[in-house]
Structure 1
Amino acid sequence: MSTVVVQKFGGTSVGSTERIKRMADRVIQEKEKGHDVVVVVSAMGKTTDTLVKLVSDITSEPSKREMDMLLSTGEQVTISLLTMALQQQGVEAISFTGWQAGIRTDSILGNAHIQSIDTGRILNELENGQVVVVAGFQGVTEGGDISTLGRGGSDITAAALASALKADRCDIYTDVDGVYTSDPRYVPNASKIPSLSYEDMQNLASMGAGVLHPRAVKHAKKYGIPLYIKSSFEKGRGTMIHGKAKQTGFPPVIGVTFEVDINRLEVFDCKNIEGFQEAIMCELASHHIQADVYKQSCRDSLSLLVKEQEHQEVLTILEREKENWKYSRIERKGGLSKVSVIGQNIKSQPAIKMEMCKVLLENAVRVKLVGESAISVTAVVERSQVQLAAERLHTGFGLDYEAVMMASV
């Protein structure tokens, strides 16, 4: 009985017809090993950005339904071209949109979550010897509307399909050759991590590591599907994600992550601040919005750290519930970033927070706020200083390439 392998190719991997042909070769290599192959693809290159620009020429307040209708077309182009590239080389292949692949989502358009996958049609085509090429980033609601899964949606599609199909593994091809201790484009001395547990990868991803979406890790972890992050353009070992986190003998800090475009929303004079914090977090979660929410000591206020592209939606939610939540005003501060050190049981290790503050102070990084959780300590800094902060913290916690190499000798 053949095993199933899911391959996912990101936008840069399929950014031109020449690259699509190269990715077709990758698919054929896997097929020739005797696997049944399901391929998930993103839109070509900057297609999504181009579509968003077209919208901005029409309206500043597009409906979410029509945005999903438009943005889902990018992947449809790619699946057709890749399928034709496979057919040109004599490989039987068929392309499916999200709804044709049986991907059902909830109704939070623009940031939908997958609820179920009917794999019947995919399995039928695999039994017939076809390579199945699926559009990432999209599905269909119970009401029949096309929905998109938000940023990183193709990763989510690939991991969810791998789980539903009980795949042997899920290979994520991207423009980097694995998961690093920080983003190597900003931190030159970042080192590649050969293997990570689901828990550690989810921690890194949830705090800003852009190489993989945290919901993709969640799908893979649920059914124990190994995820393999590798380069589309270079040979060599990538990063394997599987298994459980080691509880002993593991460095307390495994990486430094950051998010560049952050807004801070401070809500003042909150009544029943504990209940208010819980209510805010539940309301944002119902809209699939991730926010860090911190109580401000010595005053009845909360600070919310939200992605810049989501701040207006968060403000709308807060204003709509002002009478229920009884606060006086909201102040917004833009031009910020957040940088985090990630590990396990960090909140029980106060020395990590102290060391972080010391490193930032010594390097004249202006810190606006410091918060902590079980997996991270996060500092809010000015956007102009985020690269400096990430580099210095990476060095300060012994994660530079040279330090890692010495530790492994």
Structure 2
Amino acid sequence: MARIVMKFGGATLASSAHIFEVAKKAIHEKEKGHDVVIVTAAMASSANELTKMARDLSDEASKRELDVLRSTSSQLSSALVAIALQEEGYNAVSLTGWQAGVQTDAMYVNARIDYVDVSRLEEHLAQKQIVVVAGEQGIDHLQNITTLGKGGAETAAVAIAAALDAERVDIFTNVDGVYTADPNHVNGAQKLKEISYNEMLELSNLGTHILHPRAVELAKKFQIPVIIRSNEIDTVGTLLKEEVEMEKNLIVRGVAYESDVIRLTVGYDAYSDASLADIFTVLANHRINVDIIVQAIIDGLKPTVSFTILKEEFAEALRVLEESKLSLGFSFADFEVGLAKVSIIGSGMASNPGVAARMFDRLRHEDIPVKMVSTSEIKVSVVVPQDDMIHAANALHAEFNLEQALYM
């Protein structure tokens, strides 16, 4: 009997009516003869209210207690979905993350999954129950509740699917698939029928907030097919898998962008004081994600290293750098705001030279200044003024003819 894991985001659980729709989708799969595991995200309304209450009580609440508090939001949604399924006449049970066997490290607020002990899940599935797991949470080796941070629910869904050897994971969200660009802001954006793990990983890292990179990485590692589909309309979604058919042999298959990028620059009095390894190790130990990195060593000038981070990590990054200034040996730190990152992605770029030059030429033609550049085999990213972000995305989408491709 095939096993299906279904993940539902907070927007799909916003009301009783929404929850009954979730139940119907699960019942549809159960009636096909599948074993069904549902993973729920936190209900946005309850999560926001609980966070506000905690802040009203203390500006310095411990991360442990915040995790205990936040974990209750997805427990609420899992219990409500189980109740809806029971009302429809189906045998269902809700489990917390720790009851479902999600074992994590001890990093509160942003824990990582070590493994999933599926023994209890197997027991419930053997009893023909639909199991509803509270996503975004687990338990560490000291039996403390932890939360998984951004993308925690889909990451847990993929991890559970891998541990159960599931046939696939269905991600239900407020979009009906993955597009060549954001259809709300880019003219002619087309839905992709399929996308590779590597392409989706780049898109996720570069600003397409449909599926978190952690979930994509796990899906790739364990070769779990993932379908990204709409919770509101019954339509074919986008299949995430290892290899895909190259529609019309496109070199570039997507354009992504991300606003509120900040460029941090750290300067040293002498090259001997600079250690890239030290500075990025300190940031990594605090789980601060660094993106584009540029080091400048020029005779007669003080050496610098510049890197980009997201706005929400800016305050923490400054705090960490200030606390570590003496050990890191830098003399000053500066920053620039009002920036954005625009990227082109496509597996075909690896075997087609000249794509970056074509990108830069089009941006020059559009009078859009490029402040930083980062490349890999299947993507090129540029940092541009935020006011030019949408303009740049539309220009690049047109430059690589993505609006002419038929994906539906």
Task: For 2:151, give the aligned amino acid.
Answer: G
User: In structure 2, how many angstroms separate the alpha carbons of the residues matched to 1:115 and 1:23?
Assistant: 29
Name which of 395, 398, 401 aligns with 2:398. 395
Task: Say if 1:235 and 1:348 are closer, same or farther in 2 by CA, change over 3 A.
Answer: closer
Provide TM-score, normalisation by structure 2. Answer: 0.91
Structure 1 residue runs without a partner (length 5+)? none
| Offset, 1:81 | 0.6
CA RMSD of aligned residues (A): 2.5
Q: Which residue of 2 aligns with 1:334?
A: 337
Q: Does the CA contact (< 8 Å) of 1:108 and 1:287 recur in 2?
A: no
| Alignment correspondent of 2:210 | 211
Aligned equivalents of 2:180, 2:240: Cα separation in 1:
14
Q: Distance in 2 between matches of 1:273 and 1:356?
A: 36
Aligned residues: 404
Matching residue of 1:307: 310
Distance 1:112 1:4, change over 3 A: same
- Distance of 2:195 and 2:26 partners within structure 1: 25
Q: Determine the structure 2 residue equivalent to 1:180.
A: 179
Alpha-carbon distance, 1:46 to partner: 4.1
Contact 2:29 2:36 in 1 (8 A): yes
The answer on 1:126 being equivalent to 2:129 is no
Per the TM alignment, residue 167 of structure 1 is displaced from its structure 2 partner at its CA by 0.2
Q: SS in structure 2 opposite 1:12?
A: helix
SS in 1 for 2:184: coil
Structure 2 distance, partners of 1:274, 1:97, is 49
Residues 338 and 142 of structure 1, relative CA distance in 2, 3 Å threshold: same
CA distance in 2 between partners of 1:105 and 1:259 (Å)? 29
Partner of 1:221: 220
Q: Deviation at 1:139?
A: 0.8
Deviations 1:280-322 (A, max 9, x none): 3333333333211412445421112111111222223322332
TM superposition shift of 1:225: 1.4
Cα pair 1:273 1:301 within 8 Å, conserved: no
**Cα distance between partner residues in 1 of 2:54 and 2:371:** 35
Question: What's 1:197 paired with?
Answer: 196
Give the Cα separation in 2 of the matches to 1:273 and 1:10: 49
Question: Corresponding residue for 1:404?
Answer: 405
The change in CA–CA distance for 1:404 and 1:246 in structure 2 (over 3 A counts) is: closer
Structure 2 distance, partners of 1:273, 1:196, is 45
Q: Is it true that 1:277 corresponds to 2:276 in the alignment?
A: yes
Provide, for residues 258-294 of structure 1, a one-character-per-residue CA deviation record: whole Å limited to 9, x for no partner: 1222221111127558972233333333333321141
Q: Which residue of 2 aligns with 1:233?
A: 232
User: Residues of 2 paired with 1:237 and 1:38: CA distance?
Assistant: 21
Q: Deviations over 1:50-81 (max 9, x none)?
A: 43333443444443222222221111110111
Instruction: Give the Cα separation in 2 of the matches to 1:46 and 1:307.
Output: 25
Equivalent residue number for residue 244 of structure 1: 243
For structure 2, the residue ranges without an aligned partner over 5 or more in a row are none
Change (3 A) 1:273 1:83: farther
Q: Does 1:143 align with 2:139?
A: no
Q: Relative to structure 1, is the Cα distance of residues 253 and 280 closer, same or farther in structure 2, using a 3 angstrom cutoff?
A: farther
Residues 285/358 of structure 1: CA separation in 2 closer, same or farther (3 Å cut): same
Q: Secondary structure at the match of 1:192?
A: coil
2:283 counterpart letter in structure 1: L
Distance 2:80 2:385 in 1: 43
Letter matched to residue 198 of structure 2: E
Of 59-68 and 258-267, the range deviating more from structure 2: 59-68
Structure 2 residue matching 1:367: 3-state secondary structure: coil
Q: TM-score, normalised by structure 1?
A: 0.91
Compared with structure 1, are the counterparts of its residues 128 and 270 closer, same or farther at alpha carbon in structure 2 (3 Å cutoff)? farther
Classify the secondary structure of the residue corresponding to 1:253: coil
The amino acid of 1:7's aligned partner reads M
Residue 145 of structure 1, CA deviation: 1.8
Higher alpha-carbon deviation: 63-72 or 190-199: 63-72
Structure 1 runs (4+) greater than 4 angstroms displaced: 245-250, 270-275, 345-350
Distance 2:250 2:395 in 1: 18
Distance (whole Å) between structure 2 residues aligned to residue 175 and residue 248 of structure 1: 25
Give 1:52's aligned residue: 51
Structure 1 contact 346–373 (Cα < 8 Å) conserved: no
By how many angstroms is 1:92 displaced? Answer: 0.5
| Shift of residue 358, structure 1, vs aligned partner | 2.5
